[in-house]
Amino acid sequence: MSYIGNIIGGVKTLLTGMKVTGHYFFPSVIGRKYTITRQYPDEPAIVMDRFKGEVVMWHNDNNEHRCTGCQACEIACPNGSIEIIWDRVLNEETGKKVKVIDQHIYHLGMCTMCNLCIQACPTNAIMWSTNFHNSTYDRSQLTKVLNKPGSKLMAGVEE
């Protein structure tokens, strides 16, 4: 009798599992009004506030940023995802040479999302964005220049 009882118990368990699965396969029959799977390019994606998608550099309305070019983020990066190309330019007010960044390059394809660069930045110039639309067929498109063309250092930010 235990053999037949095991078969009946197995069928009962199978039907219970199929009932749970059926809720997801046939949402209109069961009465659900939403689907679990979204068709990515066609339907809007869910916004994830705590997702670390890529490193970005914030600029204000005057195209000013907070990066002094100190290279702390470049030194802190364990695999060289960040490169800062800078030059010294003569400041007309003080007559001294100051460091000015030319390009702040970020290689998203090499980044391990370890957060060390953001923690190392003394001026909070770089931060995480929630952008996750980074799929591409060409790996060179994952290399981004973070500072906008013609941007300059924000007043009051010092090295």
CB atoms within 10 A of CB 49: 5
- Mean pLDDT for 24-52 is 68
Q: What pLDDT score was predicted for residue 123?
A: 93
Backbone angles phi, psi at 89, to 5 degrees: -120, 145
**Where do you find CATH 3.30.70.3270 in the chain?**
54-153
Digit-coded pLDDT (tens) for 54-92: 999 999 999 999 999 999 999 999 999 999 999 998 888
Digit-coded pLDDT (tens) for 91-144: 888 888 888 899 999 999 999 999 999 999 999 999 999 887 788 888 999 999
Confidence of residue 45 (pLDDT cuts 50, 70, 90): low
Residues β-bridged to residue 85: 103
CB 52 within 8 A of CB 103: no
- The residue written with tokens 């046939």 in the block is 26
Strand ordering across the sheet containing 82-90: 82-90, 97-107, 143-145
Indicate whether 30 pLDDT > 60: no
The CATH class, in words, for 54-153 is alpha beta
Q: What pLDDT score was predicted for residue 35?
A: 58
Where does the chain have alpha helices with state H? 2-25, 27-30, 72-76, 116-120
